């Protein structure tokens, strides 16, 4: 019997700390050895000319989410995980919903059963929208014991948002149980006030979404979330930072020793108001929250990646197709201010479901705009794409690393491959990509998940149901 089930041979390995030449020997789905001239494995994969990174970990994506009105996001676990793997992401964390007025157990029945169809490894953050004593004192501890070790709260969206008093109770519970709290930071009342004024002035186009949610509403809520977390002495992760104003609040808090981390997404690094202004309702394809900013903001967010303020790039993938959900006023839950339809039947800006698809394009866009264009080096790419999220969310040593004992989740990047992104070539279930026609340099040609070749040259080989639930510590 050979020592290794698989040897990935002759690649340039990139970890969160260094870049070096080596082979990787895999046994029983885990990395067994890293070194030069390893003995032959039962299976051999050549990585000559390739960069080998840990598999991506996308710690923020909405997959097959169920809303209380009976709706379900169009992206299924089978399709979303195929897209993840094809884009170099071997594990993701999505959301267990809580419907207001319901216990955790009674919200989204059957959701965990749906997740069994995943081809990639997966875990959950628990959304808390209704922090009753029963939820905080009984249900959350039981969930934590099952390995769901992080909570998500919204400071905007009705009926998802928490008041400050509710948020404080969630923070205190997380502190008691040692959980991470992730936060969507925007000021609900300020957005509502702006929406009312814009609608009264007859502004209904998708661009008004950005006018209703300017950077100051994100900055205020980011500051408030940090201040309340500081009061409780509970670490938080600020999700999807879109602008310098919010990032600066995080940097200031980090400088005074507060345990706050920041995440951003490829949309805030590459897209802008110009996209929201596209004619024929096409701007709806770019409605997400926080909103896209003016073009100059992209480079300011890159600077906050470069100075270490923002340490994670997630997709915030949402399954809303242009032909269906994006045109259904109020559908999908993530909207604010009522279901206002316009004369042509399309929704006014405030009723367009918020969210863009990006689970497959996250890493190619980050690699190309970051590594290939010289904005970041390879270890930074690894930290942003997997390693930092793994340590923040209790998967350190298992995901996001190339080291003996870690899961053999590997991505072989062809750094010279030039591609143009087209939706037809993607594996998600959504009918568009915000990066249609976007040119990238660098492409994940082989994705290996726990020692098995899951994707080769765009063909997804991993079967639905082959992903595993990741209980986190």
- The tokens for 347 are 């929704």
Give residue for tokens 């290996």. Answer: 448
What does the DSSP 8-state code read for residue 469? B
Should residue 93 be labelled a site residue for ligand DUC when binding is judged by CB under 6 A?
no
Q: Rounded to the nearest whole angstrom, what is the least distance from the CB of residue 442 to ligand DUC in the complex? A: 26
- Could you tell which of Zn ion, ligand DUC, none binds residue 310, using a CB distance below 5 to 8 A set by kind? none
How far is the C-alpha of 46 from the C-alpha of 401, rounded, in Å? 20
Shortest distance, CB of residue 353 to ligand DUC, whole angstroms?
8
Strands 236-238 and 180-184: parallel
Q: Which of 316, 369, 407, 409 binds ligand DUC (CB under 6 A)?
A: 316
Question: End-to-end alpha-carbon separation of the chain, Å?
Answer: 35
Contact between 318 and ligand DUC per CB under 6 A: yes
- By CB under 6 A, residue 62 contacts ligand DUC: yes
Chosen residue from 129, 289, 309, 321 binding ligand DUC by CB under 6 A: 289
Q: Shortest distance, CB of residue 186 to ligand DUC, whole angstroms?
A: 8
Tell the smallest beta-carbon distance from residue 316 to Zn ion (Å). Answer: 4
CB nearer to ligand DUC: pick between 62 and 327: 62
The item of Zn ion, ligand DUC, none sharing an interface with residue 288, based on CB under 5 to 8 Å by kind, is ligand DUC
Phi, psi of 280 (to 5 degrees): 55, 40
d(CA 162, CA 158): 9
Burial class (CB in 10 A: 0-12, 13-18, 19+), 214: middle
- The two beta strands, 439-449 and 452-456, are antiparallel
Q: Which is nearer to Zn ion, 130 or 316 (CB)?
A: 316
Q: Any contact of residue 334 with ligand DUC (CB under 6 A)?
A: yes
Single out the residue of 10, 5, 12, 9 nearest to residue 29, CA to CA.
Answer: 5
Q: How far is the CB of 182 from ligand DUC (least distance, A)?
A: 10
**Residue 242 Cβ vs ligand DUC, minimum distance, rounded to whole Å:** 10
Residue 334 interaction partner, one of Zn ion, ligand DUC, none, beta carbon < 5-8 Å per kind: ligand DUC
Peptide bond into 159 cis (omega under 30): yes
Beta-sheet strand order (sheet of 89-96):
56-58, 89-96, 121-127, 150-154, 180-184, 236-238, 260-264, 310-313
What character string, x for contact with ligand DUC (CB under 6 A) and - otherwise, covers 171-200?
-------------x----------------
Residues forming contacts to ligand DUC in the complex (CB under 6 A) are 62, 184, 288-289, 316, 318, 334, 354-355
């Amino acid at each position: 019997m050979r020592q290794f089930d698989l040897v990935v041979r002759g690649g340039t390995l990139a970890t969160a700390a260094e870049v070096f030449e080596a082979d990787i020997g895999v046994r029983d789905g885990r990395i067994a050895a890293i070194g030069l001239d390893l003995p032959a494995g039962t299976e051999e994969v050549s990585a000559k000319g390739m960069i080998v990174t840990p598999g991506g970990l996308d710690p923020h994506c909405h997959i097959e989410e169920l809303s209380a009105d009976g709706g379900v996001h169009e992206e299924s676990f089978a399709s979303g995980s195929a897209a993840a793997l094809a884009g170099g992401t071997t594990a993701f964390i999505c959301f267990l919903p809580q419907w207001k007025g319901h216990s955790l157990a009674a919200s989204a029945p059957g959701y965990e059963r749906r997740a069994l169809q995943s081809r990639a490894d997966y875990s959950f953050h628990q959304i808390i929208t209704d922090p009753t004593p029963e939820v905080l004192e009984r249900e959350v501890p039981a969930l934590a014991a099952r390995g769901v070790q992080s909570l998500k709260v919204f400071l905007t969206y009705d009926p998802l948002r928490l008041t400050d008093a509710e948020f404080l109770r969630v923070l205190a519970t997380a502190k008691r149980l040692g959980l991470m709290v992730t936060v969507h930071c925007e000021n609900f009342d300020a957005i509502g006030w702006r929406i009312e004024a814009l609608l009264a002035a007859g502004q209904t186009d998708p661009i008004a979404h950005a006018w209703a949610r300017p950077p100051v509403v994100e900055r205020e809520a980011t500051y408030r979330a940090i201040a309340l977390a500081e009061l409780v002495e509970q670490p938080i992760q600020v999700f999807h930072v879109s602008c310098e104003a919010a990032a600066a609040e995080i940097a200031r808090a980090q400088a005074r020793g507060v345990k706050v981390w920041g995440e951003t997404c490829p949309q805030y690094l590459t897209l802008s108001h110009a996209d929201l202004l596209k004619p024929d309702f096409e701007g709806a394809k770019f409605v997400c929250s926080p909103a896209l900013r003016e073009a100059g903001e992209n480079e300011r967010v890159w600077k906050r990646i470069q100075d270490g303020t923002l340490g994670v790039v997630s997709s915030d993938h949402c399954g809303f197709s242009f032909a269906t959900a994006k045109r259904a006023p109020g559908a999908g839950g993530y909207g604010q201010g009522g279901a206002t339809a316009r004369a042509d039947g399309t929704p006014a800006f405030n009723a367009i479901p918020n969210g863009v698809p990006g689970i497959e394009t996250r890493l190619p866009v980050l690699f190309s705009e970051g590594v290939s264009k010289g904005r970041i080096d390879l270890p930074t790419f690894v930290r942003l794409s997997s390693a930092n999220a793994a340590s923040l969310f209790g998967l350190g040593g298992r995901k996001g690393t190339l080291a003996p004992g870690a899961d053999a989740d590997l991505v072989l990047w062809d750094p010279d491959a030039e591609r143009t992104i087209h939706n037809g070539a993607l594996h998600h279930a959504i009918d568009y990509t915000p990066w249609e026609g976007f040119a990238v340099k660098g492409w994940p040609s082989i994705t290996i998940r726990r020692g098995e070749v899951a994707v080769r040259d765009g063909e997804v080989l991993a079967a639905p149901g082959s992903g595993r639930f990741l209980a986190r510590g």
